[in-house]
A and B are shown apart, each in its own frame.
Chain A
């Protein structure tokens, strides 16, 4: 029995070293500060490090969720789910959007400690959709192009992080610097 316990503890320690979960990263002391970078993907086209505005849309309803705790990640998900279901998104698109929100809200919490998510009901022509903006004043993403392009090792089939979120959404825009990060995503009803 004691041997099993030792195995358990060793196994737990191994996993903690491997997995980046749970730990909040702080700014590296004396390390390089995050350079200002941006990335936009819209309608299949990508723009890197240019200020590219997203296509014009009409905004209707909106709301904000403060992200200051792990529980707020759940709130962000639930709020998003309510909104997109009311916009009659297909179930798969509901799942995609809520999953992306969970990822982005968690990033805000893990890497900046706090931030906000603002959602907007958006309209263009006869289409309706949701726009979500995640803002924080955290240390920023060091290497944005690596993070969004999927140069992210998949361990245990554990996924493509920011790149994965980008694939779930129709429009994806990130601006990051040492002063903070803003991620704006859009998903349209189909």
Chain B
């Protein structure tokens, strides 16, 4: 059900979950994206949940990386979902005009999973 491929990417059912680290270097972000896309290609998940709850700075570079990653996921047939945006990050992002218009956002991983039809109450999996 769950297998960890790298320290930051996890597989839940047929969904990939990745955690953006708190203050990554540009290089670390690039590496994470590469790993993620390789996995998306290999696993063909129905969705990729990008958890940014540890992110405290969303500048144009990170915003672009997230948007590009999401786009790539879409091109490969998956649904990208962003979860865990912090209020202060949301305010700054909105002020800077990063709205991630085409990407679904969710409050947390549970809700993200619900969005794609996986209900995680009582540890049971329901496919709708």
The reply on B1 being an interface residue by CB < 8 A is no
Q: Of A103, A156, A160, which contacts B67 at CB under 8 A? A: A156
B25 contacts A74, CB within 8 Å?
yes
B92 contacts A99, CB within 8 Å?
yes
**A73 contacts which chain B residues (CB < 8 A)?**
25-26
B99 contacts A5, CB within 8 Å?
no
Measured in the bound complex, the distance between the Cα atoms of B102 and A157 in whole Å is: 9
A164 contacts B88, CB within 8 Å?
no
| Residue picked from B25, B56, B64, B100, most chain A C-beta under 10 Å | B64
Q: How many residues of B contact A (CB 8 A)?
A: 36
Q: For chain A, which range describes its interface: under 10, 10 to 19, 20 to 34, or 35 or more residues?
A: 35 or more
The reply on B118 being an interface residue by CB < 8 A is no
The reply on B76 being an interface residue by CB < 8 A is yes
The reply on B68 being an interface residue by CB < 8 A is yes
Q: In the complex, what residue of chain B is closest to A94 when comparing beta carbons?
A: B88
B59 contacts A99, CB within 8 Å?
yes
Q: In the complex, what residue of chain B is closest to A92 when comparing beta carbons?
A: B88
Measured in the bound complex, the distance between the Cα atoms of B60 and A159 in whole Å is: 7
- Chain B proximity mask over A136-160: 1 for CB below 8 Å, otherwise 0: 0000000000000000001011111
Min Cβ gap B35→A in Å is 14
The reply on A96 being an interface residue by CB < 8 A is yes
The reply on A115 being an interface residue by CB < 8 A is no
CB within 8 Å of B: which residues of A?
Answer: 4-5, 7-8, 11-12, 15, 19, 21, 70-71, 73-74, 77-78, 81, 91-92, 94-96, 98-99, 102-103, 106, 154, 156-161, 164-165, 167-168
Q: Which 8 A-B pairs have the closest CB atoms?
A: A164-B96, A102-B59, A95-B88, A70-B26, A157-B99, A159-B97, A11-B75, A92-B88
CB within 8 Å of A: which residues of B?
Answer: 23-27, 37, 41, 56-61, 63-65, 67-68, 71-72, 75-76, 86-89, 91-92, 95-102
